Amino acid sequence: MRVHVDEIPEAGRFLHFHWGEDRFQHFLPPDDPLTIRFERPVIVDLEIHQRSDHIRAQGLIRAEFRLVCHRCLESYPWRLEQPMDLFLLRQKKSEDQSEEDQDRDVEDLDYEFFDGEEIDIDLLVVEQIVLALPFKALCSEECKGICPHCGANLNLEPCRCAGKQADSPFATLQAIKQRLPDKANP
């Protein structure tokens, strides 16, 4: 969805829309490992106000996703209620500043820029959703994960290889330590 700046009334413009999973997946690369499934559509409520030197977009993004836990690899529900408050500045290109210099300056700032004529609302919403996603998705803080040897989900069942003594990567060091003379008892 694109909003033309000259179509924003003085009192502001209110947007309310829903997204399905297919709309969100449209913005992700085809081979993206991010496994997000929608429990319910994304609901976006957004107010856009035009000022003399910027555009302000405020609102709320609500959604219910199904994420995959990074420890146990089981899916779990995750709720998003992300407030959104962005200041969009018109990008001005000066004649004495080269394109490369302008790009470098833009990367150093913490503002969103747009071309001055229209705003791509979809990109702003996707950016806010991706930034709100947990860096490490966990079904719970107490998640025990999976056994690295037998693959058992330790939240659901005991380890099947618990009786077997797996070779520790430190077993050789332990054997060397035992052969060293004890310095505490000369």
Tens of pLDDT, residues 74-113: 999 999 999 988 888 876 655 444 555 455 444 444 466 7
Q: What is the pLDDT of residue 77?
A: 93
Distances from the Cα of 120 to the Cα of 54, 144, 172, 179, angstroms: 15, 42, 60, 69
Give pLDDT tens digits for 122-179: 888 888 888 898 888 899 999 999 988 888 889 998 887 755 555 677 777 777 888 8
Helix (H, G, I), strand (E, B) or coil at 172: helix
Torsion-angle region of 169 (φ positive above 0: left; ψ -120 to 50: alpha; else: beta): alpha
Please give the full DSSP string across 93-157, using - where no structure is assigned.
--TTS-HHHHHHHHHHS--EEE-SSEEEHHHHHHHHHHHHS-SS--S-TT---B-TTT--BTTTS
Q: pLDDT band at residue 61, thresholds of 50, 70 and 90? A: very high
Query: β-strands 13-19, 37-50: how paired?
Result: antiparallel
Reading the block at residue 167, the tokens are: 């070779």
Quick one: DSSP state of residue 133? Answer: S
Spatial separation of the C-alpha atoms in residues 159 and 11, rounded to whole Å: 62
Distances from the Cα of 100 to the Cα of 4, 89, 93, 105, 107, angstroms: 27, 19, 11, 9, 11
Q: Residue holding tokens 């003085």?
A: 10
Q: Average pLDDT of 56-68?
A: 91
Give pLDDT tens digits for 3-51: 877 788 888 889 899 988 888 888 877 777 667 788 899 999 999 988 8
Please report, for the chain, the start and end positions of each structural domain, with discontinuous segments joined by +. Answer: 2-132, 145-186
**Could you tell me the pTM of the whole model?**
0.69
8 Å CB contact between 102 and 108: no
Q: What is the pLDDT of residue 143?
A: 92
Spatial separation of the C-alpha atoms in residues 91 and 116, rounded to whole Å: 7
